[in-house]
Amino acid sequence: MKQFDIVFENKHLLVVVKPAGLVVNRSQTINEETLQDQISRYLKLSRGNLGVGERAGIVHRLDRETSGLIVVAKTQSAFENLQSQFKNREVEKEYGALVHGVIPNDGVIRENIGRVGKFGRFGVVGDGRESVTAYKKAGEYSFSEDKFDDLVAESKLNKGRVRYLQKNARIYSRVSLFPKTGRTHQIRVHLKHIGHLVVSDIIYAPSKLLKFDMLWCSRLFLHAAAISFRDPKSRKILSFKADLPNELKSAMLNLEKV
């Protein structure tokens, strides 16, 4: 069973690392254990305890497929204070991703995001909610010729799809991302919009690319790597970092720095 790790705890809050594959919140459509269930047991919360039990003190969310840092309140006053910090964009967040292609050195993506179609997908839409993501390239990577050929052979794709991979799956960029808003799938949607899909994105990648990605990277390459906010009581700035998970470190071993 996937479990969270605690990186910090005081009387008012927890900072935990959520593994990829663990859903954050309970819902009627979720029939598996969630981070909310695990936190509720850890904090010994009932569902309605101080209004925190309903969310188990969880102040913000990560996608199921994303790993990384999450802030959890232990009291109602801390919950309200931390929620306010997120709402007022006072919290600084940094994510790490590996994306297809050579992304510009830095930039800011300002595109509204809203729900599109069915199946829980989101996209850039004119009447969507304001969404802003800043980014900075951290490096470029590629497969060796032999490694790429081995993966293509393993994928057993037809010649047309192999040509697609030769164009779209040879070069990658490591990216640090700084979301200024917190929309569902924001980073994934914004990166797709500018033509740089996150590696192994099971929702937004076309099947021919996803099949290839999953041969060498078993999960979405997106990690909530750092967060800074003010302690609800002392008002001191607290900053935390979470190392890249081992499965993503292993994926990077398939690539060479350009």
Which among 92, 59, 102 is positioned nearest to 77, based on CA atoms? 59
Cα distances (angstroms) measured from residue 150 to each of 162, 164, 206, 254: 12, 16, 21, 11
- Is 231 noted as a catalytic residue in this protein? no
User: How far apart, in whole angstroms, are the C-alpha atoms of residue 4 and residue 234?
Assistant: 26
Beta carbons within 8 Å of 159's beta carbon, 6+ residues apart: none
Taking alpha carbons only, the member of 114, 87, 254, 109 closest to residue 175 is: 109
Give bridge partners of residue 136 from the DSSP assignment. Answer: 106, 176
Catalytic residue among 63, 149, 201, 231: 63
**How many Å apart are CA 152 and CA 161, to the nearest integer?**
10
Please identify every residue annotated as catalytic: 63
